[in-house]
Chain A
Amino acid sequence: MALLEIKNLCVSVDDNAILDNINLNIGRGETHVLMGPNGAGKSTLGNALMGNPAYKITSGNIYFNGLDIKEESADKRAKAGMFMSFQNPLEVPGINLSSFIRNAIAVQTGQKIRFSQFRQDLAKNMELLNFDPSYKDRDLNVGFSGGEKKKAEILQLLMLKPKFAILDETDSGLDVDAVRTVSEGIREYQKYEDGALLIITHSTRILESLHVDRTHILVKGRIAESGDGSLVEKINENGFEKYLD
């Protein structure tokens, strides 16, 4: 049984049908890549999977760990082991990054982790991401640059250790060095047993140093082609033109 099973999924936003009959299985520990031109519906799939109420599932099902989660709210999905790195992480004044992560771990696991342990893990992961440690005491994403926001997302991924993570355009707006650090963080996450990924991207830079199990090409709300990791290279050479007729 796959960790995530998407069956005949149709999603609309503001009564506009965006995704049409998506079928996709992601197994434990697998890394899948979702590529496609702008406006294809990639982020819609991410949001629908994570339970954003603005994205309405009109038909089809989502099973996570064998359970139908279609009706569950985002916080329940997170507690079940899902995570999404946001394309545009939101600024939340009044709570600092460190307390926020600690709080999220506490609500997800139902227990408080020891502060010394937490601080150690946090410092280690921030170092891995080449993330200025003073940011842990700053309000969540407030005044962070684009790159720092993405690092904060990957930091949360590493700290929360979900079973499955959606990375929505994590590489967009990052310079070459930042892409390298962020993808180092992602590789670290892959090392966890069962750490599955759906990487949504329209470029291939972030994938260069990552192992990819499956690649899916999303065009106009449908999966136009699926293949193994080598499909990424073909897209790299030829773009999406052949799907756009």
Chain B
Amino acid sequence: MEKERTEVNDIDRSIYDFKDSEEDFYRVKEGLTPAIVDQISKEKHDPEWMRQFRQKSLEIYEKLRVPDWGPDISGLNMDDIVTYVRPNTKMSAKWEEVPEDIRNTFERLGIPQAERESLAGVGAQYDSELVYHNVKDEVSKTGVVYTDMESALTGEYEQMVKDHFMKLVPPSDHKFAALHGAVWSGGSFVYVPPGVKLDIPLQSYFRLNAAGAGQFEHTLIIVSEGADLHFIEGCSAPKYNVANLHAGCVELYVGKNARLRYSTIENWSKNMYNLNTKRAICEEGASIEWVSGSFGSHVSYLYPSSILKGDDSHAEFTGITFAGRGQNLDTGAKMFHMGKNTSSFINTKSISKDGGISTYRSSVTVMPGAENAKASVSCASLMLDDISRSDTIPAMDIRTDKADIGHEAKIGRISDDAVFYLMSRGISEEEAKAMIVSGFADPVSKELPLEYAVEMNNLIRLEMKGAIG
């Protein structure tokens, strides 16, 4: 019997791919010059120190080289990227006041609905600026601050911002961190006072609508001693033929015995260069839990890092990456053990199909003083056909012999026998493959809030659709 030909189609991303007109929006010129950076600073009414910070970052940016150890990003020409696009609206705490087309965008993405049902607060960023922000009253009463970065920068938390902003990820970290420092805009500031435990999550959603633009939102979260927070971040963009850039920065400060869970579903369009930097620092007894789903984008460099500074601190990273046609996703995590009795767990799954390349890259560093550190890395890859690629690059730098380190890597192809087994029960080939992929992703889905687990499963189904001729 002739096996059906497997044909590769682009997926139907219509739920994400709609675009809005942006005629009235303010945008700076393409490219990057001190004048453009000053203009952004002026538009945003930065304090003087921030203006200087931006110019300093730009200088560093000019000096640093484009990374050459990962996926090719030569298709990204900074002279073509518009670094600041402001929608023609002011930020609002009332959903009805958000302009209709922008409101429609977020409604199609299910944001206000999620807010009503299961969130303590929501921020929605459209291009470079937050357009909507709201925190439930009972949350504000606990002293929790959740606001846009711009308000934080000029309000009563200015000093706190100044003390933490790009201290964990300095502009000198790498070229795109420097770029971020120069042109950042939007993002969220969260402060959780000591001992406050939020039992429902806060969420921010980033939507990049403008063609040929960059999004550089900054997320700064400070969780004080004994406090507890779950923060969710969602990202999407429609597809254009020109390159878009996302170079956000996330800095998470987790205080003594505090706990932070940071969940992300990134679903950028497939023309996006996603060069995002995320880092957390944990004080004594603190714990950070990352849950990360990377779908979409043309190229991704994404390695959320955890610095286990305090004794007995703990980090967990659970991630999934799905690379389809034309995608080269280089993702993983970094763990730095500095304190004693620190522990870290990395558990990742990556899926590649239709010629997509997915690379797992991680580093675990255990410093000499980090006695009794425990680290475990487990990564599994699933390739859905013969033309896709999957690589695993786990680095370990262990500088004490008093550490317990484990590593497990699995790379496999989707089993034809398993597909046939499911089909013999009446399940179609497409559905059978989707079931196997979902099952593979299951340990990650389980870590996501329910509605995100559903979204992730939908994304997997969306990606699997049209894969069968």
Contacts and interface: CB of A to CB of B under 8 A. Distances in A.
Contacts of B28: none
A50 B427 contact: no
A104 B440 contact: no
Contacts of B421: 86, 89-90, 92
Nearest to A72: B1
B4 A92 contact: no
Interface stretch (B42-50, B112-120, B428-436): B428-436
Contacts of A104: 425-427
Contacts, number: 85
Contact of B424 (A50, A93, A95, A107): A50
Nearest to A166: B424
User: By CB atoms of chain A within 10 A, which of B2, B420, B431, B435 has the most?
Assistant: B420
Interface string A83-104: 1101001111111000010011
B367 interface: no
Contacts of A75: 423-429, 432
A59 B440 CA distance: 38
Contact of A90 (B1, B3, B418, B440): B418
A109 B431 CA distance: 16
B441 interface: yes
A55 B421 CA distance: 14
A139 interface: yes
A139 B418 CA distance: 14
Given A93-B439, A94-B442, A84 B417 contact: no
Contacts of B1: 51, 53, 55-57, 70-71
Given A90-B415, A93-B439, A53 B426 contact: no
A182 interface: no
B92 interface: no
B172 interface: no
B363 interface: no
B415 A73 contact: no
A72 to B, nearest CB: 9
B39 interface: no
Contacts of B422: 92
Given A90-B421, A104-B426, A104-B427, A73 B4 contact: yes
Contacts of B432: 75
Contacts of B451: none
A156 interface: yes
B438 A94 contact: yes
A107 B416 contact: no
A130 interface: no
A174 interface: no
Contact of A95 (B2, B3, B416, B435): B435
A2 interface: no
A55 B441 CA distance: 30
Given A53-B4, A75-B424, 17 more contacts: A53-B1, A71-B1, A75-B423, A77-B424, A78-B426, A79-B426, A86-B421, A90-B417, A90-B418, A92-B418, A92-B439, A93-B439, A93-B442, A94-B439, A94-B440, A103-B427, A156-B425
Interface of A: 50-57, 70-71, 73-75, 77-79, 83-84, 86, 89-95, 100, 103-104, 107-108, 139, 156, 160
21 contacts: A51-B1, A51-B423, A53-B4, A53-B420, A54-B420, A56-B1, A71-B2, A73-B4, A75-B423, A75-B427, A77-B424, A78-B424, A90-B415, A91-B418, A92-B418, A92-B422, A94-B439, A100-B425, A104-B425, A139-B439, A156-B425
